[in-house]
């Protein structure tokens, strides 16, 4: 397995390949969620590249850029075991060596959910993903449904701006108790870790209410009640929107029920996609 640190090395490696290239962009500190994306790429593509880059432009001034967990040795070992062909591991200086006045504006899809409490976050995500797609030139890219708003924005970017690649959606990988796997779970205290699966339980119960009553209000009120009474976390948002276009609507054929909850050192997100079966003939 190759470790590539410059854009030039990636370009040369890309040119030397035969067959398709699958690409999995990450911020490292890999867990089984990332492993699932990598396994799907290895199974479906002739070659697989993993990138590990904690992208500064997607972090706000008071966010966890400096303390974001890192373990390159362990990540390398895991990637090797899965059959990854190369890792792109650039520095911030390498990625942002050229200054420009051109910026990204994610528009109104970034006004909902995480975009509300993380202004500029998705502009940074689309910026780095665009750069990575151009450097790597993959045929297939793999993103997790765990970050559903990010996935929706990337699908929109790829479609609207004609990136010649296919975006694969990968279902959220969870701990045995239902907590969505996340590099940020290490920030949880022992008692917060015990409570954290309640977010997923609350979303599941709210989904059932929504399907039974057809009422967004009732579903959201239930999820709010469960999370605020059964955890010590503070709700950032709980929303039920159409998916992937993230509009407030009573009913769309595909909806997303999403939550973000602040614990003392971690902000956790989770979501469920709800497919509504039409009862009309
Ligand atoms: P990150 O390193 O957090 O930027 O995540 C890199 C990729 O892994 C993104 O496409 C995430 O959506 C995906 N991912 C993170 N956690 C999970 C999970 N629990 N299940 C599936 N995919 C995930």
144 touches ligand 1 (CB under 6 Å): yes
Sign, CA dihedral 53-200-115-138, equals positive
- How far is CA 129 from its chain centroid? 12
Given a cut of 90, whether residue 124 has pLDDT beyond it is: yes
For a substitution probing ligand 1, which of 31, 118, 144 has the most ligand atoms within 8 Å of its CB? 144
* Strands 254-262 and 234-242, bridge-based pairing: antiparallel
For a substitution probing ligand 1, which of 70, 146, 151 has the most ligand atoms within 8 Å of its CB? 146
How far, in Å, is the centroid of ligand 1 from the Cα of 268?
13
Per-residue pLDDT, averaged over 94-114, amounts to: 96
- Per-residue model confidence (pLDDT) at position 251: 78
Given a cut of 70, whether residue 280 has pLDDT beyond it is: no
Catalytic residue list:
34
Per-residue pLDDT, averaged over 72-80, amounts to: 98
170 touches ligand 1 (CB under 6 Å): yes
Report residue 112's pLDDT band, with 50, 70 and 90 as the boundaries. Answer: very high
Given a cut of 70, whether residue 49 has pLDDT beyond it is: yes
Ligand 1 nearest-atom number relative to CA 180 = 19
147 touches ligand 1 (CB under 6 Å): yes
- Per-residue model confidence (pLDDT) at position 276: 84
Per-residue pLDDT, averaged over 213-221, amounts to: 94
Give the relative orientation of helices 32-44 and 72-82 as an angle to the nearest 10 degrees: 40
Ligand 1 nearest-atom number relative to CA 184 = 3
What confidence tens digit (pLDDT) does each residue in 230-252 have?
Answer: 999 999 999 999 999 999 987 79
* Gap between the Cα atoms of 87 and 1, Å rounded: 8
- Per-residue model confidence (pLDDT) at position 114: 96
- Per-residue model confidence (pLDDT) at position 182: 97
How many other β-carbons are positioned within 10 Å of the β-carbon of residue 154?
A: 22
Report residue 277's pLDDT band, with 50, 70 and 90 as the boundaries. Answer: confident
Per-residue pLDDT, averaged over 256-277, amounts to: 95
182 touches ligand 1 (CB under 6 Å): yes
Secondary structure of the chain in HEC code, one letter for each residue: CEEECCHHHHHHHHHHCCCCEEEEEECCCCCHHHHHHHHHHHHHCCEEEEEECCCHHHCCCCCCCCCCCCCHHHHHHHHHHHCCCEEECCCHHHHCCCCCCCCCCCHHHHCCHHHHHCCCHHHHHHHHHHHHHHHHCCCEEEEEHHHHHHHHHHHHHHHHCCCCCEEEEECCCECCCCCECCHHHHHCCHHHHHHCCHHHHHHHHHHHHHHHHCCHHHHHHHHHHHHHHHCCCEEEEEEEEECCCCCCCCCCCEEEEEEEEECCCCEEEEEEEEECCCCCC
Of the chain, the percentage scoring pLDDT greater than 70 comes to 99
């Amino acid at each position: 397995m190759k470790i590539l640190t410059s854009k030039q090395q990636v370009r040369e490696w890309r040119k030397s390949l035969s067959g398709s290239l699958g690409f999995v962009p990450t911020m490292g500190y890999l867990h089984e969620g990332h492993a699932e994306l990598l396994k799907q790429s290895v199974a479906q593509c002739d070659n697989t590249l993993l990138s590990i880059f904690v992208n500064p432009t997607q972090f706000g001034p008071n966010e966890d850029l400096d303390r974001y967990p890192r373990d390159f040795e362990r990540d390398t070992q895991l990637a090797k075991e899965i059959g990854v062909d190369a890792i792109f591991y650039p520095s911030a200086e390498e990625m942002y060596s050229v200054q420009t006045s051109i910026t990204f504006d994610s528009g109104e899809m970034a006004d909902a959910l995480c975009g509300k409490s993380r202004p500029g976050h998705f502009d940074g995500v689309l910026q780095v993903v665009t750069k990575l797609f151009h450097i790597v030139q993959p045929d297939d890219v793999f993103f997790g449904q765990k970050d559903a708003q990010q996935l929706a924005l990337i699908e929109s970017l790829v479609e609207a701006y004609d990136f010649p690649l296919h975006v694969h959606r990968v279902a959220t990988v969870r701990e045995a108790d239902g907590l969505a796997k996340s590099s940020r779970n290490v920030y949880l205290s022992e008692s917060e870790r015990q409570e954290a699966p309640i977010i997923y339980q609350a979303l599941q119960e709210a989904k059932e209410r929504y399907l039974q009553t057809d009422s967004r209000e009732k579903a959201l009120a239930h999820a709010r009640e469960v999370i605020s009474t059964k955890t010590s976390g503070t709700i950032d948002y709980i929303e039920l929107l159409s998916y992937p276009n993230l509009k407030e609507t009573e009913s769309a054929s595909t909806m997303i029920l999403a939550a973000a909850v602040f614990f003392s050192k971690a902000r956790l997100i989770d979501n469920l996609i709800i497919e509504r079966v039409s009862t009309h003939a």
